[in-house]
Structure 1
Amino acid sequence: MSGWIKKTLVVALSAIAVGCATSPTGRNQVLLFPSDQLAQMGQQAFTDMKQKQNVSRQPVKNEYVECIADAITPYVPESVYDGKWEVVVFDEDQVNAFALPGGKIGVYTGLMKVAQTQDQLAAVIGHEIGHVIAQHGNERMSQGALVNIGTQAVGQILAANEVPQTGPIMAAIGLGVQVGVQLPYSRAHESEADLIGLQLMAQAGFNPRESVDLWRNMEAASGGQRPPEIMSTHPAPQSRIQSLQKNMPEAVSVYEKTSNRPDCR
């Protein structure tokens, strides 16, 4: 690829690297969408999911998950959401959970086989709420909008100058954006949510040390069937464990100072 094409690509995508906001861990962010719009979208998506997926009718599981969530959500800044969070358990085998803007939390029963204690499940719920606190959904949407603008601009310049091999060049740009921009952003989001979740669970009185056990369980449950970290939207479990351990002393200090000790068994 010639120098002027590279320069054009850099100019077209440079806005991605310019932050107009700052995340809870100090990262620069581009946030183009109003928070109330994201909240409306989250609430609508949650309503749709409840209609299309199997909602658990088992009181014990629902009360267990809601107990953990209720212990954590008071520590979410009111600027993020100041109401009662809605918690739903989906009766599906997925090893997954999520939180959405607008005060929504979903947990799949498959996750409860891997998150074996209340502290481990608290690590997951704290992590998912961390995505909402850090406005990762807004950041990803904003990033996608800017990438589309940038790549369309490059394509128009290539076509206007009758550059040969335009198709392959644009395909290479697409892959470069995915590997060089979108996937690292995803991994950064996951790592950031881990650290926010670590603090939330400690504040709520859940043992933060069990977050490490959770990711060991996750790695075991995956059976080693993971893509290389550079091609994955999530950091490798060992990378997550190392990051959590690095930040563990502060979280343990918070945990030991709080008198909270939830009993959600």
Structure 2
Amino acid sequence: MTKPATTLRCIGSGDAFGSGGRLNSCYHLNLLSTQMLLDCGCSSLIGLQRWGVHAAEIDTVVISHLHGDHFGGIPYLLLEGKYASQRSKALTLVGPPGLQQRVEAVSEAFYPGIISKNNNFPVVFQLLDPQKPLVVNDARIECFRVRHGHSKHAYGLRIEVDGKVISYSGDTEWTENLIPLSQGSDLFIVECCAYDQPIPSHLDYRTLQKHRSKLECRKLVLTHMGPEMLSRLDDLELDTLNDGDVFEI
């Protein structure tokens, strides 16, 4: 019998402004043993519905940093689990320090009471730490500090599960930590906001091209692209992600 493929579907590849009509950052890993989201931006539930991914089957959500276009979809995921699918199994939320406080505050502001002791499913919070890899629902999760604004807790993510390695830069300008993050990855998802004008806190295409040979991964794809990048897609030598794209890993 053929072993089922590990797949990654891009739920949303857009930036905070929805450039090009793209949804916020969200990537769905359908693995042999578990289902996982890497980031869960505000529009993620729309994308999950659009691409036929059942929110109630997701075991783990891993958040790279606490900006709304990367974590703001969690309240809607909780709302869907409580009222629409009547979810019963636990949902594990993994992210930077402050994740639980931020999720609870935003959830209470949006939909008071969606996190409560009376829920049919437990919500479990676990924190990322660059010094301590986590094992959550059969997946080994590492994080690497990246450079995004003034935050000390913006991370690139590395997921090892079912014999595969998927890495994700989160939002960052160039940092040498992208090199070990990429090493040995079957798929490396890299944000690339601009084309040739460096923007603080974000990568641009020319800088990434300059360092591409240092990133030792089997496949690299670009995401989180702004208007200039989207206008030059035909000029790019590196592969790009679109909402709905699926990769077998």
TM-score by length of 1: 0.26
- Structure with more contact order per residue of length (Cα contacts < 8 Å, sep ≥ 6): 1
- Please report the TM-score for the alignment, with normalisation by the length of structure 2: 0.27
Larger radius of gyration: 1
Q: Which protein has the bigger strand share?
A: 2
Give the structure with the larger helix fraction.
1
